[in-house]
Structure 1
Amino acid sequence: MQDVVLVKKLDPEAELDRLARLYSSAGGTGVTLLNKLGGSAESLLDQLPEPVRLGLTGATEQALWLAMHAAEGSRRAVPDQKPWINTALATAMGAAGGLGGVSTALVELPASTAMILRAIQGAAAREGFDPTAENVKFDSIRVLSAAGPLEKDDGADLGFFSMRLTLTGPAMQRMISMVAPRLSVVLGQKLAAQSVPLLGALAGGGTNFIYTRYYQQIAHVHFGLRRLAIDADIPHDDLVQRLSGRMSV
Structure 2
Amino acid sequence: MMTAPGQHSDVVDLTPDDLDALRRAVHALEHPSLAARLTAMVGKPIELIGYALPAPASRAISTATSKALEMALKVAIKTMRRDPLAGSQLLHRALVSASGAAGGAFGLATLPIELPISTIIMLRSIADIARSEGEDLSDPEAALSCVEVFALGGRSGSDDASESGYFALRGLLAKSVTEAARYVAQRGVVAEGAPVLVRFIADVASRFGVVVTQKVAAQALPVIGALGGAAVNYAFLEHFQDVARGHFTVRRLERVYGKELIEKEYTRLAERD
Same fold (TM over 0.5): yes
Measured in 1, the distance between the counterparts of 2:43 and 2:58 equals 17
Are residues 147 and 227 of structure 1, via their aligned partners in 2, closer, same or farther at CA, if it must alter by over 3 Å?
Answer: closer
1:4-55 deviations in whole A, cap 9, x for unaligned? xxxxxx9455424313224425758972444442622422313533212134
CA distance in 2, matches of 1:102, 1:38: 21
Matching residue of 1:206: 231
CA deviation profile, 1:112-137 (whole Å, cap 9, x unmatched): 11111111111111111122421112
Higher helix share: 2
Give CA deviations for 1:89-126 in whole Å, capped at 9, x if unaligned. Answer: 21222122211122123420110111111111111111
Q: TM-score, normalised by structure 1?
A: 0.80
Q: CA 1:28/1:48 → structure 2, altered by over 3 Å: closer, same or farther?
A: closer
Q: Distance in 1 between matches of 2:125 and 2:160?
A: 25
Aligned residue in 1 for 2:187: none
Distance 1:211 1:241, change over 3 A: farther
After superposition, give the CA deviation of every residue in 1:47-98 in whole Å (9 maximum; x if it has no partner). 5332121343332111101123346666557942233332232122212221
The 3 A distance-change label for structure 1 pair 173 and 16 is farther
Residue 244 of structure 1 aligns with an amino acid whose one-letter code is T
CA RMSD of aligned residues (A): 3.0
- Give the Cα separation in 1 of the matches to 2:109 and 2:74: 23
In the superposition, the TM-score normalised over structure 2's length comes to: 0.74
2:107 corresponds to which residue? 101
The answer to whether the 8 A contact 2:28-2:246 is kept is no
State the identity as a percent. 29
* 2:48 alignment counterpart: 43
Which residue of structure 1 aligns with residue 95 of structure 2? 89
- Paired residue for 1:15, among 13, 18, 42? 18
Matches within 5 A, 1:210-221: 210-221=235-246
Residue 56 of structure 1 aligns with which residue?
A: 61
Decide which moves more: 27-36 or 39-48.
Answer: 27-36
User: Where does residue 169 of structure 2 map in the other structure?
Assistant: 160
- Unaligned runs of 5+ residues in structure 2 are 1-12, 184-194
Secondary structure of the 1:100 match is helix
What are structure 1's unaligned runs of at least 5 residues?
A: 1-9
Which deviates further from its counterpart, 89-98 or 50-59?
50-59
In structure 2, distance between residues paired with 1:174 and 1:96 = 31
Matched residues in 2 for 1:164 and 1:216: separation? 21
Please give the alpha-carbon distance, in whole angstroms, between the structure 2 residues aligned to 1:74 and 1:38.
40
Taking a change above 3 Å as real, the CA distance of residues 152 and 237 of structure 1, as seen in their structure-2 partners, is farther
SS of the residue corresponding to residue 151 of structure 1 reads coil
Q: Is the 8 A contact 1:143 1:219 kept in 2?
A: yes
- From the superposition, tell whether residues 226 and 56 of structure 1 become closer, same or farther in structure 2 (CA, over 3 Å): same
Q: Of the candidates 144, 154, 176, which is equivalent to residue 201 of structure 2?
A: 176
1:229–1:39 CA distance, 2 compared to 1 (3 A): same
TM superposition shift of 1:173: 2.9
C-alpha distance in 1 between matches for 2:50 and 2:72: 23
Bigger mean CA deviation after superposition, 31-40 or 74-83: 74-83
Q: Which whole-Å CA distance do the structure 2 matches of 1:117 and 1:56 have between them?
A: 19
Counterpart amino acid of 2:142? V
